[in-house]
Amino acid sequence: MAPQSLIELWRGGLCESIHAGHAVVYGPQGAEMVWGQADAVIFPRSSCKMIQALPLVESGAADAAGLAERHLALACASHSGAALHTKAVAAWLSDLGLADEDLRCGAHVPRDPEARCHFTCTEDKPCQIHNNCSGKHSGFLTLNRHLKGGSEYVEIDHPVQRAVRAAFEEVTGEIVAGWGVDGCSAPNFACTVEALARAMQFFAAAKPEGSLRENAAVRLRRAMVAFPELVAGEERACTKLMRAMGGKVAVKVGAEGVFVAILPEQKRGVALKIADGTTRASEAAITAILVYLGALDPAHPVVEELLPKVQRNWRGLETGGMRRAEGFC
């Protein structure tokens, strides 16, 4: 399963570091472009949150709980734990008659600089609502209310996770290759890069008037682009990219170098995995692919932010830059 060189870091006229990986662009007729190995087996990690949220919507649980579009965005989010995020999650739980202790994601210091400072400089400890996956877990709790399952909703045999697994296998078109425990304790199902891209293509091509599942997919992808700041946060790649593409494309990062994109106008899905797991490279690679597909204006500032032709040091001197490897896009 040999990955292909995708992103290079250059300094002083020499190639200093290289990131290799796998990427697939999937269209209505199947895989249209492949870099690396389409059948590389990966953990999608957070990139598949919109798949994990399908049962929440298609089951009727979201509507039974009166969820708004912003809740669906949070259900797909790896949020930064800013006040914006934690207040929304706290309110969601409260509306369910639930609280922080009902979550099963664990707590960590959030990424948002202000929030992080607060926890570094005071005695306060973060709660589970600060966990970047707390929106996804609030979605699980909402589904659980509907399915009337027990409290341990992240167990692999719990009705919530069985519903997630079924949706995952159906939209990827693969029996899961295995599963791992994610950082947030939810199961993360493994699949090939191609299968993940196929799932994103399903989301892209889904019509609101289609099946229950297609309608759910449409609602989720629309929620992501309607609330890009909830899906990630200020200065985050997902938020900046979705804003740059004016709501036309939904993107989602996953830990360990994963990125996906849903392009409804093109009816295409994209999935990529950087073999070494590095986020700077997954951000650069998804940016390159989005430009290549004509979905992202190469002159938009976000392109230079995520795939900088020119990198500068602490005195602003040019030191080198990032490039697409030969043969990539």
Residue numbers at the binding site for its own copies (CB under 8 A): 9, 11-14, 16-20, 41-43, 104-108, 113-114, 116-117, 120-121, 131, 177-185, 188, 190, 256-257, 274-278, 281, 313-320
- Closest to its own copies by CB, 154 vs 204, is 154
Supply the minimum distance, in Å, between the C-beta of residue 221 and its own copies: 26
305 SS3 class: helix
Supply the minimum distance, in Å, between the C-beta of residue 233 and its own copies: 15
How crowded is residue 329: how many other Cβ atoms within 10 Å of its Cβ? 16
**CA gap 131, 150 in Å, rounded:** 22
Supply the minimum distance, in Å, between the C-beta of residue 240 and its own copies: 20
Neighbouring-strand partners of residue 251: 261
Supply the minimum distance, in Å, between the C-beta of residue 45 and its own copies: 9
Closest CA to 184 of 125, 126, 137, 115: 137
**CA gap 298, 288 in Å, rounded:** 9
b/e map 81-101, b = 16+ CB within 10 Å = bbeebbebbbebbeebebebe
- Closest to its own copies by CB, 29 vs 122, is 122
Supply the minimum distance, in Å, between the C-beta of residue 246 and its own copies: 31
- Closest to its own copies by CB, 257 vs 264, is 257
Supply the minimum distance, in Å, between the C-beta of residue 68 and its own copies: 27
- Closest to its own copies by CB, 252 vs 268, is 252
First-last CA distance in the chain:
20
- Closest to its own copies by CB, 149 vs 187, is 187
**CA distances, 205 to each of 69, 73, 129, 146, 208 (Å):** 20, 19, 33, 28, 10
- Closest to its own copies by CB, 184 vs 290, is 184
Identify whether the C-beta of residue 311 lies closer than 8 Å to the C-beta of residue 319.
yes
